[in-house]
Amino acid sequence: MTAETILFYLFGGLAVISALGMVLNTRNTVASVLSLVVTMVSLGAVYLLLEAYLVAAFQIMVYGGAIVVLFLFVVMLLNLSTDEFPPSKQRLIKSAFVIAGVAILAQILIALGHDPLFATPPEAVPEGYGGYRQVGILLYTDYVLLVEMASLLLLAAIVGALILAKRKID
Amino acid sequence: MIPAPDLNLSVLLPIILVAIGSMTILMGEVLLSRADTVLGREVTESFIGTVLAGTAIFFFALTLWASGVAFAGGGVQVFNPDNPMYQLDPFSSFVTAVLALSALLSCALSITYLSELRINHGEYYALIMLSASGMMLMVAAVDLIAVFLGLELMSIPIYVLAGFDRRKLRSNESALKYFLIGSFASAILLYGMALLYGVSGGTSFEALRAGFDADNPMALVGLGLVVVGFAFKISMVPFHQWTPDVYEGAPSAVTAYMSVTVKVAAFATLIRLLAMAFGPLEASLETIFWVLSALTIVVGNIMAIIQENVKRMLAYSSIAHAGYLMIGLVTGTIEGYSAMIFYLIAYTFMNLGAFGVVVALANRGNDCERIASFAGLARTRPGLAAVMALFMLSLAGIPGTAGFMGKFKIFMAAVNSGDIWLLIIGVLMSVVSVYYYLRIPVLMYMREPEDESHRTEIASGEGAVLVVCALAVLALGLFPNRVPTLLFGDLDVLDWANRSVGMFFGG
Amino acid sequence: MVDVGTESDLLRWIPLLPLLVAAYHGISIGVLRRPTVPRVAAIFSCAAVLLSFVLACIALRDLLALPPDSRMLVDDIYTWIGAGIGSRALSAEVSFQLDPLSAVMTLVVTFVGSMIHIYSIGYMEDDHRDDKGTQRFFCYLNLFTFSMLVLVLGDNLVLMFLGWEGVGLCSYLLIGFWYSDSWNAYCGSKAFIVNRIGDFGFLIGLFLLFNALSEIGHPAVSFAGIQAHFDGIVEMTIAVPAWMPFAPEWQLVNVIGLCFFLGACGKSAQIPLYVWLPDAMAGPTPVSALIHAATMVTAGVYMVCRLSFLYAAAPEASAVIAWTGAITALVAATIAITQNDIKKVLAYSTVSQLGYMFLAAGCGGYTAAIFHLGTHAFFKGLLFLAAGAVILAMHHEQDMRKMGGLWRRLRMTRWVFFAGVYAIAGFPPFSGFFSKDEILVAAWASHVPGHTWLYGIGMLTAGLTAFYMFRLWYLTFCGESRVPSDVLSHVKDPNGFVVNPLWVLAFFSVTAGLVGLPQIWGDLIGIEESNSLANFLKPVFAAGEPHHIAHSTEYWMAFWAVAIALSGTALAWLLYIKKPGVPDRIAATLSGLYRTLLNKYYIDELYDAVIVRPLVVFSDRVLYRIVDAGVIDGIGANGTAYGIRAVAANGLKYAQSGLAQNYIFFMIVGAVAIVGYLLR
Amino acid sequence: MLPMDHVIALSAILFTIGVLGVATRRNLIVILMSIELMLNAVNLAFVGFNRIWSQVDGVAAIDGQIFVLMVIAVAAAEVAVGLGILLAMFRNRDSVNVEEVNLLKW
């Protein structure tokens, strides 16, 4: 077991635990948000181990830095730091959900176990893989359409958020 | 040195036009709102709204023209030859034209309705245009990334539009449900895409087709999840439950828009995916589509029977129509796909028309959505009652209307590919459907008017849309081979439908 | 184009004229919102239909000018559904054809139609319920005439279906015309829905037939095309599971034939789909006469005759038709005996006579069926219109128990009514005698299993027909007047618009039988080829080989037919004139049977209990409460006792809850099911 | 080298946790965060698969990573709109409990 593998299990485990912490924590919303940050950062570390450097940077900056902070901001704005909704009495329905979720997981894992894709370890990555230069060049050549469309998407999101959230009505 | 990509911008013209339109509107609203002080608030608002709607209509008309020209040209062009993401071919240009047309009609339908609700903001039209650009990207995409991005660009503005009347709890709720379930569904879709990427090593349809192996469980899981993602968008049972809630709660004009365009775009994308990417896996999908189609037809029709709200009834009816459309997917033949395209066009006009009548009846703050409020409409609003009756007959599939022609083609495709039982279910449930569709004409023509505060005047935009839809419904039912138009000669819509899907079969 | 037929641009105007006038009415009501003066609007409508009749006569002249074997006019207007794609391309034209069969139908529809249009002018002027309604009424009436003409003139099944749905729709609009009664609106819906069940059969038959023809490489929907390649599919069979009757395989043409017959049952009010027709009498009387007696309800008979080549190759389906027709004829006649509403008697009589027509068609006597269709159109149209005149005179009273002795009051109506009654009862030389006789001969001579029984049922029904018609006659026109005296003083013949068409129809009710004079009677009076209708129609129908019947037998059959009609008449005279108290005593003695008949064998109640209520209960209870509540909680419960209590306590709470998360749950279940199936 | 099947399994586990969060929590904010978690799981799968398919026919390929960048953009847009809807609802109802949102039903 190499150091990389150990780190992967470490961060992977951390991601799972903090994700569970986010979902299962029914007392404190702020703690949930902070658990999400931990998950995101751990995943960023896993991306580094997978040699996707630029994505790892974005993961930390955009997810950890922007999105989660936005959540935290809304939680604070609405003063929702304590969760007012104690566990539902519909435990049965929840258990049904759990069963369904586990069934999905089982299906995916069964599917994975059979896959020839994982029979051999992946080959070494080519020079410059996952770096800003390669990603940047491709984004502005092969994938330039996506960049443009993503800009429209963000425009739509800005307009939409403004419409929905602005305080003044009419 | 980075080699400059060899881009073919003219191919992207439909999207570019729509995007420019949306930005023009956003800028225009800011500039025009200065006029506030001169004209007074009331006048300014309705004036600005009308001008911006006119801008949207203008740009959609340009888009319609651009895609029509591309369709007439007939060839296959890609935006970026190095990595084709967006492919303008007969199929995508035709569907783009249909989308542009229905978006145009929706904009014309909205003006007065929004003024009545006092939400006639330019953002509304900008969001419609942005979502239309997403649809246009999606139907022309030949790469999973572009499909996903198009899907999201289509959905996010519509989440907002559903909640556009944000003072109303129902509108809020509609937006919330649509958003919640929609983003859940796109996450599932996305996971499916990830697995498909894992199987094939690429995201383009070509790579998917090459990399598939029908025995690979990971490919099958990915396929299943992608199907679920689309099943949500076209509201197949059991992924349909959001539909009635969202359609009911959203402002009627928005419902009109999303009930047709989203369905057209999602079905078109599904056709392209099946024809171009999932070819090798089709056999395993056939049974699934068969069962979902039968379920969708049955549940949609039976649930529609017991509705008391016309928008909810139309929502269940749109579910049932999705079921009929899926018969075309089950067949997987050129005939089936062509029938689907024709049916989608017919559905666009009749559904837009039916919602258009609901919009035209809506009075300020009073949406007249109860089915019972249609009582005696033939007395008070004979013209509206007549077109509503026509749309209902068309939705029910009475011959001589577009709805019949669509159903006939779909059922014919089913017969020709041997799906007799699906045919029997479809025909039987379309017989049942007459029951709830005919309730509205019965109320309009055979009951005395209630004291219902309908709007008494029809706005010119609404009137024009209803006339266009009614004429189209009749023309597509009576002469689909040569729809007479004053400007462009006779149009052979059936042949267009054949030509647009012909490219998937080497035509 | 010789083999297809002779081109004639005339044909399109026959249906188009009524359509144009209907469109005019529609625009003036709906768009201009300025209704035309009722009288003028009515005259437009009448003129259109009369003109159609004239055109039909001209077309008939052209048709007769052609040699008998190629009598076919076609008017190909445009391609309706074209540009088919794939190996089994479908193409359907909007194209009209006039062969002898459709010529007969067209003449009947336009002629009886124009009479009824004229009658309506007078009838609707008397209607003060809705003074703006007259134009709307004529709009629907013309639309109906258009659809009916499309139905009979269309040269392919799809176009026929257009007319088929069109007449159903117009019938529905017209039944519900006086919508101030919600009962009328309900009846209209009932008619439409029952008709749609029939349409289901029609469509399935159409698709199966088309599919079979494409299998042999000749996809076609036009009648000529189907007939040309029909031999190729006669031997086809479809495999069915072992538990089905007549497994393991069914002959395809039988299945197709039965599907189409289901359509015919709906439209022509045969068992089990006849329930709508008596209720349809809620509409105005001219509508009952035009749609529910003379034209629309005969569309099913027309279709069976039009597809005679199919039924000739499908003996089992034909036998089903014959038996259904016979049983319907008998059952409806027995119900008619007990009805007291004058229009209801006529309605059940119509069902019964339609049964006769199907009996004939099922026995291979297509000519007899069409012959009876024509004569029936005249005398039943006449009877309805005359009954309408009585109803007008009686100030909208329809109960025969409150009539009687009108003989002295309605001095013109009585003669035409009498002609109608004699014609339907089957006395020579009125038209009904010949056509009914033809049917009975056809039944006797056919190869249908139990054909002698069919003949017997036909004879019995003939006796019953005479009985209930004379019962109607005696109760209405003879005996002591039971009319309230204040009404009686106003009872008089209606105006000329109402009465004059009656004379015309009466004339034809008396004489129409002569166009189809059976050869045995022609021999008697020395005319060669006396049955000109049969000779005219001969090229259209598939020739069967019936049992040979000696002439002497035919004379005896005619004799017995008259005898049984006479005895029915005599019985009616005995019971309702001579000893008026007897019927009540009989009713008292046989109260169970009588009540069953009076309540129409409880068929409506049965339908309500078996179909309508379960459907409502299913969608309401099962879909809402069991599927939604049951499945959500049922899965959650997981069999634990706590779960069962939770279902009871929270059962309805989660039904179609409006909760996003429940929807998400269903999506998860669906996703798991789909992925699970793919991974199986 | 990392065990790739475990990477994908990790993404499946995270995805399932996200699904359960969406399905069971009643606090809208947590539901939104769970959707984010699902998207993150998808990203992990993309990055993992991209590591396997780091070159196709000898050419470096980063489709997966591009996809991830797009997903991040979409996630940002969804959060913006989602929180907007949440705010609008909070103003009207003064609550972020998803179970109270059931005006539209039947």
Q: Are C656 and D106 in contact (CB under 8 A)?
A: yes
Q: In terms of CA atoms, which chain B residue is nearest residue D19?
A: B184
Mean pLDDT calculated for residue range C147-158 = 91
Q: Are C9 and C95 in contact (CB under 8 A)?
A: no
State phi, psi for B120 to the nearest 5 degrees. -80, 70
Name the minimum distance, in Å, from the CA of D28 to any CA of chain A.
Answer: 10
Q: Which domain does D16 fall in, by range?
A: 4-97
Rounded distance between C-alpha atoms, residue C314 and residue C338, angstroms: 37
Q: Are C355 and C332 in contact (CB under 8 A)?
A: yes
Which pLDDT does position B2 carry in this prediction? 75
Q: In terms of CA atoms, which chain A residue is nearest residue B127?
A: A156
Which pLDDT does position D36 carry in this prediction? 94
Query: Taking CB atoms and an 8 Å cutoff, what residues of chain C touch D101?
Result: 658-660
* Range in A37-51, B127-141, C492-506 with the lowest mean pLDDT: C492-506
Q: Which residue in B455, B446, B441, B408 sits closest to B427, CA to CA?
A: B408
Rounded distance between C-alpha atoms, residue C434 and residue C510, angstroms: 11
Which one-letter DSSP state was computed for residue B376? T
Report domain extents, chain C: 6-537, 602-678
Q: Provide the pLDDT confidence category of residue A131 given band limits of 50, 70 and 90.
A: confident
Q: Provide the pLDDT confidence category of residue C583 given band limits of 50, 70 and 90.
A: low
Please tell me whether residues A121 and A160 are part of one structural domain.
no
Q: Using CA atoms in the order C419, C420, C423, C428, what is the torsion angle rounded to 10 degrees?
A: -10
Chains contacting A (3+ CB pairs below 8 angstroms): B, C, D
What ipTM was predicted for this assembly?
0.92
Contacts of C181 by beta carbon, 8 Å cutoff, 6+ apart: C282
Which pLDDT does position C632 carry in this prediction? 32
Of B15, B121, B152, the CB nearest to A153: B152
Region for residue B202 given its phi and psi (left: phi exceeds 0; alpha: psi -120 to 50; beta: otherwise): beta
Rounded distance between C-alpha atoms, residue B330 and residue B417, angstroms: 9
Tell me the one-letter amino acid at B69: V
Q: Residue B396 is inside which H or E element, if any?
A: helix B382-396
Residue D103 lies in a domain: no
Mean pLDDT calculated for residue range C596-608 = 62
Answer whether residue B121 shows pLDDT above 60: yes
Burial C192-225 (b: 16+ CB within 10 A, else e): bbbbbbbbbbbbbbbbbbbbbbbeeebbbbbbbb
Angle (CA) B57-B58-B64 rounded to 5° is 85
> What is the domain count for chain D?
1
Residue C315 or residue C645, greater confidence? C315
Contacts of B246 by beta carbon, 8 Å cutoff, 6+ apart: B162, B174, B177, B178, B315, D104
Q: Are B22 and B126 in contact (CB under 8 A)?
A: yes
Residue B214 or residue B61, greater confidence? B61
Which pLDDT does position C36 carry in this prediction? 75
Rounded distance between C-alpha atoms, residue C387 and residue B329, angstroms: 56
Q: Using CA atoms in the order B78, B81, B84, B87, what is the torsion angle rounded to 10 degrees?
A: 10
Q: Which residue in C277, C447, C416 sits closest to C353, CA to CA?
A: C277
Long-range contacts of C390-393 (CB under 8 A, 24+ apart): C390/C342, C390/C417, C390/C476, C391/C285, C391/C342, C391/C343, C392/C123, C392/C126, C392/C494, C392/C498, C393/C490, C393/C491, C393/C492, C393/C493, C393/C494
Answer whether residue C608 shows pLDDT above 60: no
Of D19, D24, D106, the CB nearest to C656: D106
Which one-letter DSSP state was computed for residue B452? -
Q: Using CA atoms in the order C487, C493, C496, C498, what is the torsion angle rounded to 10 degrees?
A: 80
Which pLDDT does position B402 carry in this prediction? 94
Rounded distance between C-alpha atoms, residue C37 and residue B119, angstroms: 46
Answer whether residue A87 shows pLDDT above 90: no
pTM, to two decimals: 0.90
Q: Do B190 and D88 touch (CB under 8 A)?
A: no
Output the domain CATH number for residue D89: 1.10.287.3510
Name the minimum distance, in Å, from the CA of D74 to any CA of chain B.
Answer: 7
Q: Give the model confidence (pLDDT) of C5-25 as tens digits.
A: 788 888 889 999 999 999 998
Residue B284 or residue C101, greater confidence? C101
Which pLDDT does position B288 carry in this prediction? 92
Of C624, C656, C660, the CB nearest to D98: C660
Count the Cβ atoms, other than its own, within 10 Å of residue A69.
Answer: 13
Query: Quick check: B176 contacting D, CB < 8 Å?
Result: yes
Q: Do C188 and B446 touch (CB under 8 A)?
A: yes
Q: Is the peptide bond before C272 cis (omega within 30 degrees of 0)?
A: yes
Choose the most confident range, by mean pLDDT, from B42-46, C228-232, C391-395, C463-467.
Answer: C463-467
DSSP string covering C413-426: HHHHHHHHHHHHHT
Q: Which residue in D24, D21, D62, D61 sits closest to D40, CA to CA?
A: D21
Q: Give the model confidence (pLDDT) of D31-84 as tens digits.
A: 999 999 999 999 999 999 999 888 877 778 889 999 999 999 999 999 999 999
Choose the most confident range, by mean pLDDT, from B97-101, B488-492, C339-343.
Answer: B97-101
Q: Are C236 and C252 in contact (CB under 8 A)?
A: yes
Q: Provide the pLDDT confidence category of residue B37 given band limits of 50, 70 and 90.
A: low
Q: Which domain does A157 fall in, by range?
A: 131-170
Please tell me whether residues A119 and A135 are part of one structural domain.
no
Burial of D57 (C-beta count, 10 Å sphere; 0-12/13-18/19+): exposed
Q: Give the model confidence (pLDDT) of B174-198 as tens digits.
A: 999 999 999 999 999 999 999 999 9
* Range in B461-470, C208-217, C422-431, C546-555 with the lowest mean pLDDT: C546-555
Rounded distance between C-alpha atoms, residue B396 and residue B202, angstroms: 44
Q: Are B268 and B340 in contact (CB under 8 A)?
A: no
Q: Give the model confidence (pLDDT) of C245-259 as tens digits.
A: 776 778 888 899 999
Answer whether residue B365 shows pLDDT above 70: no
Output the domain CATH number for residue A108: 1.20.120.1200
Residue C547 or residue B154, greater confidence? B154
Mean pLDDT calculated for residue range C130-157 = 86
What mean pLDDT is reported for chain C? 79
State phi, psi for C428 to the nearest 5 degrees. -70, 150
Q: Give the model confidence (pLDDT) of B303-358 as tens digits.
A: 787 778 899 899 999 999 999 999 999 988 888 999 999 999 999 999 999 999 99
Tell how far CA C141 is from the center of its chain: 17
Q: Are C257 and C314 in contact (CB under 8 A)?
A: yes
Which pLDDT does position C639 carry in this prediction? 30
Please tell me whether residues A112 and A169 are part of one structural domain.
no
Q: Provide the pLDDT confidence category of residue C624 given band limits of 50, 70 and 90.
A: very low
Answer whether residue C627 shows pLDDT above 50: no
Which pLDDT does position B380 carry in this prediction? 82
Tell how far CA C193 is from the center of its chain: 14
Mean pLDDT calculated for residue range B231-255 = 91
Query: Taking CB atoms and an 8 Å cutoff, what residues of chain C touch D99?
Result: 659, 661
Tell how far CA B371 is from the center of its chain: 23
- For D1, the 3-state DSSP assignment is coil
Angle (CA) A36-A41-A47 rounded to 5° is 125
Which pLDDT does position C476 carry in this prediction? 84
> What is the domain count for chain A?
2
Answer whether residue C572 shows pLDDT above 90: no
Answer whether residue C647 shows pLDDT above 50: no
Tell me the one-letter amino acid at A93: I
Rounded distance between C-alpha atoms, residue D28 and residue D98, angstroms: 6
Instruction: Give residue for tokens 């800005």.
Output: A158
Which pLDDT does position C615 carry in this prediction? 43
Q: Give the model confidence (pLDDT) of C43-74 as tens digits.
A: 889 999 999 999 999 999 888 888 887 888 88
What mean pLDDT is reported for chain B? 88
Q: Give the model confidence (pLDDT) of B438-487 as tens digits.
A: 888 888 887 777 766 677 778 888 999 999 999 999 999 988 888 877 77
Q: Which residue in B478, B487, B299, B334 sits closest to B394, CA to CA?
A: B478
Mean pLDDT calculated for residue range C564-585 = 76
Rounded distance between C-alpha atoms, residue C387 and residue C410, angstroms: 11
Q: Are B494 and B502 in contact (CB under 8 A)?
A: no
- For C267, the 3-state DSSP assignment is helix
Q: Give the model confidence (pLDDT) of C312-355 as tens digits.
A: 888 889 999 999 999 888 888 888 877 788 888 888 899 999 99
Residue D105 lies in a domain: no
Tell me the one-letter amino acid at B240: H
Please tell me whether residues A38 and A121 are part of one structural domain.
yes
Q: Which residues pair with B490 in a beta bridge?
A: B484
Which pLDDT does position C187 carry in this prediction? 57
Residue C612 or residue A18, greater confidence? A18
**Cα atoms found within 13 Å of the Cα of residue C277, Cβ hemisphere only:** 34
Q: Which residue in B214, B426, B235, B413 sits closest to B330, CA to CA?
A: B413
Rounded distance between C-alpha atoms, residue B411 and residue B426, angstroms: 8
Contacts of C604 by beta carbon, 8 Å cutoff, 6+ apart: C275
* Residues of chain C in Cβ contact (below 8 Å) with chain D: 624, 656-661, 664-665, 668
Rounded distance between C-alpha atoms, residue B292 and residue B282, angstroms: 15
Which pLDDT does position C194 carry in this prediction? 73
Region for residue C241 given its phi and psi (left: phi exceeds 0; alpha: psi -120 to 50; beta: otherwise): beta
Rounded distance between C-alpha atoms, residue C85 and residue B355, angstroms: 32
Of C636, C642, C675, the CB nearest to A93: C636
Rounded distance between C-alpha atoms, residue C457 and residue C459, angstroms: 5
Q: Is the peptide bond before D3 cis (omega within 30 degrees of 0)?
A: no
Rounded distance between C-alpha atoms, residue B254 and residue B123, angstroms: 13
Q: In terms of CA atoms, which chain D residue is nearest residue C623?
A: D106
Count the Cβ atoms, other than its own, within 10 Å of residue B386.
Answer: 22
Rounded distance between C-alpha atoms, residue C671 and residue D13, angstroms: 17
Please tell me whether residues A73 and A140 are part of one structural domain.
no
For B7, the token pair is 């881009």
Query: Taking CB atoms and an 8 Å cutoff, what residues of chain C touch B484?
Result: none
Which pLDDT does position C179 carry in this prediction? 59
Mean pLDDT calculated for residue range C623-634 = 35
Chains contacting D (3+ CB pairs below 8 angstroms): A, B, C
Count the Cβ atoms, other than its own, within 10 Å of residue B442.
Answer: 24
Answer whether residue B136 shows pLDDT above 90: yes
Residue D104 lies in a domain: no
Of C161, C203, C658, the CB nearest to B427: C203
Question: C413-425 vs C431-445: helix axis angle to the nearest 10?
Answer: 10
State phi, psi for A38 to the nearest 5 degrees. -60, -45
